[in-house]
Every structure is written in structure tokens, then in C-alpha cells.
Homo-oligomer: A and B are copies of this chain.
Amino acid sequence: MSRAAVFWETGKKIVAIGRNFVSHAKEMGAAPPTEPFFFLKPTTSYIIQGQNIEIPNEVECHHEVELGVVIGKSGRDIPEQSAMEHVSGYCLALDLTARNLQAQAKAKGLPWTTSKGFDTFCPISDFVPREKVSDPHNLELWLKVDDVERQRGTTKDMIFQIPRLIAHVSSIMRLEEGDMICTGTPDGVGPVKPGQTVTAGITGIVSVTFQAIARAKPVQ
């Protein structure tokens, strides 16, 4: 098995793109970006099926369903033209967000790190090798909380497509084998609470289910 196929164990970076769908930028009251921007989630936030989403008491946790792009070949200043050669596969990723803490951080001009970085705040599906995806820009993403559909969108609607994202990020920081890029969420984000079940997938390719529970201790 390649290192990239177990990226949640081997990878060092989760790069998450902000507001890459017009519909989500709008629901957040923000203008669609004119160039990509991103933040980092720690790899300690990964969970895989069978593990639980843990929500701290003081956190309003929101789901964001996203296509994850797994890097298979390291590179820096990667040109858009050859960017897809650096992709070894995909996953379904949830960019869970402490929306209340994120709103406070935005208002104060502070980092988004805490709001995006709690343990368990990056649930992922199995690795999907690139051969199984004929067009990553024509995938349907969906998400349910309990039995209610909350998000359904298509990667056709990305503002910046994958080659542009890889070129942009790697012009700032080298991408390495096992790094994962969360490519942004369509609209429909909303709360997940302890006791609820989140199910999400890429239609026809992969799906996952996670239970949400309360995290035991408060933030110190």
C-alpha cells in the first residue's frame, strides 16, 4: 500500500480551501473570492469510520461536506498543467467547524485554527484511487444529519478547480505525499449535535457514517 493510500496516518498537512462555492460564500454573507485562500487543519483531527465525532460543550459544530484530494507526489511551484499528476486519489471529507468560535475569530482578526482544528473535526472516508474517478469536477457530494438531507452539490460548481488549487497552495508551501486538500463545501452547512448521526458521500463512489457525541472536557 502506498503512503498516500493511508494518508490519515502518514500525511502531515490538511490544507482546506475557504469559500470555493458561490452558494456557500453567499450563505456565509461573504463575497466569492477572487483568488483561493486556505487554512490548515491538524492531522490529529482525522477520524475514520468507526470513530466518533466529539463535540466540546462550548462549540456549535457545523458540517461542511467536501471532496478531499490526496497528494501522491511531492512538489513545489507546481504548474496547473501538470498538477493532476500529483494527485493519487480522493476521499470524502467533512471539514467540521466550530462556527461560533470561527465567527469570534473573524470578528477579531484572529486565526481560524481552533475553530477548525479540534480532535475528530476531520472525518474522512476510505481512500479512493484516482483510477476510480473519471472526472473529479463532476462529482455529486451529499450529506444527511439523521434522516434529513442537509447538503447536495456538485464539484462542477467549484470556483477554483483542482489544478488551480494545487498550483496556488504549492506556490506558498510545498505539497508532500499524503497531504490532503479539502476543496471547499457547497451550501447547506448547519449544526451537528451530540446524539446525531452524520452520513455523507460522493454519489456512486463512497459513503460514510459517523456518530456525534459530547467531548468530555472543556477547553482549558
Contacts and interface: CB of A to CB of B under 8 A. Distances in A.
B109 A76 contact: no
Interface residues of A, number: 38
Interface string A32-54: 00000111101111000000000
A114 interface: yes
A172 B114 contact: yes
Copies of this chain, how many? Answer: 2
A38 to B, nearest CB: 6
Interface in A177-220: 216-220
B220 A174 contact: no
A65 B109 CA distance: 22
Prevailing SS type, chain A contact patch: loop
Contact of A171 (B76, B112, B219): B219
A109 B109 contact: yes
Contacts of A176: 44
Given A109-B106, A109-B107, A111-B111, A77 B217 contact: yes
Interface of A: 12-13, 18, 37-40, 42-45, 76-77, 80, 105-107, 109-114, 117-119, 167-168, 171-174, 176, 216-220
